[in-house]
């Protein structure tokens, strides 16, 4: 007898919107409910993906073109879906991921200027058209995000974050447009609030999906 298919939950949003925190809290909550769950992230999630992540986020890689950036992200994602996400879901496990296709569309298409339809087509090919059961957009003003990065305990800005506030505003606008286009399986969550309040809302959204 085959296992019932697991669910695929994705957190999206600008850098420093709280994706890692909320993914951790959600994974812990699902584990406490005795549900099988795997937390992962993009770029990364596999040994090859983590190597690609180092290239993509290295501040020294300023001359990386947007097309090269796109293909590196999608190479990481293709490996991630093939080796981790799809097999895990098919085995009945819930997958919680920080970032997925919306990030590629927001950063490389809406903000980066690459043709949206082309990016959507290549991303679809890379993932085998695998779509999340729920995408949670943690919405945060990029100026607030930038202050979080530079606050005590922050790690500073990586290569993508160094593109500046105007670029990050376009990213945010891209995320909001994607949320408007995909209302059935996505929700916008105000990420300016304390993490505990956000987590309570996230729990309710995920419980509905489960």
pTM of the prediction? 0.93
Residue 3, domain member (yes or no): no
CATH of the domain at 107: 3.40.50.300
Residue 1, domain member (yes or no): no
Question: Whose CA is closest to 100, among 181, 190, 11?
Answer: 11
Residue 177, domain member (yes or no): yes
Q: Which strands, in side-by-side order, build the sheet including 37-41? A: 37-41, 94-98, 8-12, 134-139, 186-190
Residue 2, domain member (yes or no): no
Give the integer Cα–Cα distance in Å for 118 and 116: 5
* Cβ–Cβ < 8 Å for 175, 139: yes
**pLDDT per position as a tens digit, 130-187:** 999 999 999 999 999 888 877 666 555 565 667 788 999 999 999 999 999 999 999 9
* Cβ–Cβ < 8 Å for 13, 144: no
Judging by DSSP bridges, how do beta strands 134-139 and 186-190 pair with one another?
parallel
Residue 160 has a pLDDT of 65
* Cβ–Cβ < 8 Å for 26, 202: yes
Question: What range defines the domain where residue 164 resides?
Answer: 8-209
Residue 57, domain member (yes or no): yes
Residue 60 has a pLDDT of 78
Residue 197, domain member (yes or no): yes
Residue 70, domain member (yes or no): yes
Residue 45, domain member (yes or no): yes
* Domains: count for the chain: 1
**pLDDT per position as a tens digit, 34-83:** 999 999 999 999 999 999 999 998 887 778 999 999 999 999 999 999 99
């Amino acid at each position: 007898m085959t296992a019932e298919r697991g669910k695929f939950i994705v957190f999206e949003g600008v850098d420093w919107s709280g994706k890692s925190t909320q993914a951790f809290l959600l994974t812990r909550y699902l584990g406490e409910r005795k549900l099988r769950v795997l937390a992962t992230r993009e770029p990364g999630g596999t040994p090859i993906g983590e190597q690609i992540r180092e290239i993509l986020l290295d501040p020294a890689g300023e001359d990386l073109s947007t097309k090269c950036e796109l293909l590196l992200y999608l190479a990481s994602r293709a490996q991630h879906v093939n080796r981790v996400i799809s097999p895990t879901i098919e085995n009945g496990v819930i997958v919680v991921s920080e970032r997925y296709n919306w990030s590629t569309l927001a950063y490389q298409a809406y903000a980066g200027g690459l043709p949206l339809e082309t990016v959507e087509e290549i991303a679809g090919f890379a993932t085998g058209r695998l779509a999340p059961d729920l995408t949670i957009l943690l919405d945060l003003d990029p100026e607030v995000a930038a202050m979080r990065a530079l606050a005590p305990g922050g790690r500073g800005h990586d290569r993508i974050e160094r593109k500046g506030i105007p670029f990050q505003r376009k990213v945010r606008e891209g995320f909001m447009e994607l949320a408007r286009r995909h209302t059935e399986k996505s929700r916008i969550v105000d990420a300016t609030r304390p993490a505990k309040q956000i987590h309570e809302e996230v729990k309710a959204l995920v419980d509905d999906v489960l």
